[in-house]
Chains A and B, each alone.
Chain A
Amino acid sequence: MATDDRWELTLTTDEGTLDPVLDLVGEMFSAGRVEEEVRLRFEVAVAEIGANIIEHAGDGAPVTLNLVLELAPDRLEARFTDDGSPARVDLRAVQMPDVFAERGRGLAIALEALDELEYRRRGGDNVWRLACYRDRGGEQSDDDEVSGPGR
């Protein structure tokens, strides 16, 4: 399924769907040198958006999920497409919850980790597009917090 810089899978969701999703991300990482800081941000964001779709898109029922990953010289991209219910979410209103909250961190983590996160409804499908830039101009170091743009 993979070409040089593109990986894809289509499946019907269940509780274990995150494993093949993360396995595909691992396959992409093994194909080319991806900086660790970018890899960490991208992987957790894909996991969080994937979990969000698995948990919410079907209102408890399975949905058909397509994931396309692309490895470009300047960025990593993931595009999730599913045929579930429209996501009732306002990404502009998402905030990291209190440290003692037991739920509600998923989208906040994705937003912090990514440089771009877009959701739209297209042709009866939900489409999520995630992007991590590979060069942040040296602004990051090991001790810096991983954060999104303008944060």
Chain B
Amino acid sequence: MTAYDIREVGTAVVVQPTGRLNMVAAPGLRDQLRDLVDGGSRRVVVDLSATEFIDSSGLGALISGLKAARQAGGDLRIAAPNTQVRSVLKLTRLDRVLTAYESANTAFDGD
């Protein structure tokens, strides 16, 4: 299972998946996000600046993390998606629940 780089920005924890976020990588991201929430992280940012491509499996991992964070009283936000990711978010209407922020560093600014 791939574990992606994690860093802290203010009160948020930032996870940065790399490459293609598909059926190979998605289960690892899903587990990693749930582990973070279970470990007490309430503000989670998925930094997509190094994610080249996402499919339904990757979207499922993001939704899983979003639900876990919200159930724990927090939130999950995404940052810096490329054109492909934005296109799929729009196509699936997930842009309604996964708002994209320009930068991981600013995803929780003002909250």
**Interface residues of A, Cβ cutoff 8 Å to B:** 15-16, 18-19, 22, 36, 40-41, 43-44, 47-48, 51, 54-55, 96, 99-106, 108-109, 112-113, 145-147
Binding site for A on B (CB under 8 A): 20, 22-24, 53, 55-57, 59-60, 63-64, 66-67, 83-84, 87-88, 90-94, 96-97
- Point out the residue from B53, B59, B63, B66 that lies within 8 Å of A43, measured CB to CB: B53
Q: How far is it, in angstroms, between the C-alpha of A126 and the C-alpha of B7 when the chains are bound?
A: 45
Would A102 and B64 count as touching, CB distance under 8 A?
Answer: yes
Closest chain B residue to A39 by CB distance? B84
B88 near A109 (CB under 8 angstroms)? yes
How far apart are A142's CB and chain B's nearest CB, in angstroms? 9
Contact of B23 among A15, A105, A109 (CB under 8 A): A15
State how many angstroms separate the Cβ of A39 from the closest Cβ of chain B.
9
- Do residues B23 and A99 form an inter-chain contact, with CB atoms below 8 A? no
Q: Count contacts between A and B, CB distance < 8 Å.
A: 80
Given A51-B23, A105-B92, A109-B88, answer yes or no on A100-B56 (Cβ-Cβ < 8 Å): no
Q: Which of A47, A100, A101, A102 contacts B53 (CB 8 A)?
A: A47
Bound-state Cα–Cα, A15 to B23, Å: 8
CA distance A18 to B60 in the complex (A): 17
Q: Please, which residue of chain B has its CB at the minimum distance from the CB of A110?
A: B56
CA distance A109 to B58 in the complex (A): 13
A109 neighbours in B (Cβ, 8 Å): 55-56, 88, 91-92
Give every chain A residue within 8 A of B59 (Cβ-Cβ).
105
Across the A-B interface, the 10 shortest Cβ-Cβ residue pairs: A105-B56, A106-B56, A102-B60, A40-B87, A47-B55, A146-B91, A99-B97, A51-B23, A102-B64, A102-B63
Evaluate contact between A146 and B56: CB separation under 8 angstroms.
no
Asked if A18 contacts B87 (CB within 8 A), the reply is no
B60 — nearest CB in chain A belongs to which residue? A102
Chain B residues positioned under 8 Å from A102 (CB to CB): 60, 63-64, 67
Given contacts A47-B53, A51-B55, A145-B90, contact A105 B60 (CB under 8 A): yes
CA distance A18 to B66 in the complex (A): 26
Q: A112 contacts B23, CB within 8 Å?
A: no
Give the shortest distance, in Å, between A138 (CB) and chain B (any CB): 18
Q: CB distance A100 to B55 under 8 Å? A: no
Cα of A78 to Cα of B59 in the assembled complex, Å = 23
Q: Give the contacting residue for A101; candidates B22, B63, B83, B87; CB below 8 A.
A: B63
Q: Kindly state the separation between the CA atoms of A18 and B55 in the bound complex, as whole angstroms.
A: 11
Q: Given A44-B84, A48-B56, are A99 and B94 neighbors across the interface (CB < 8 Å)?
A: yes
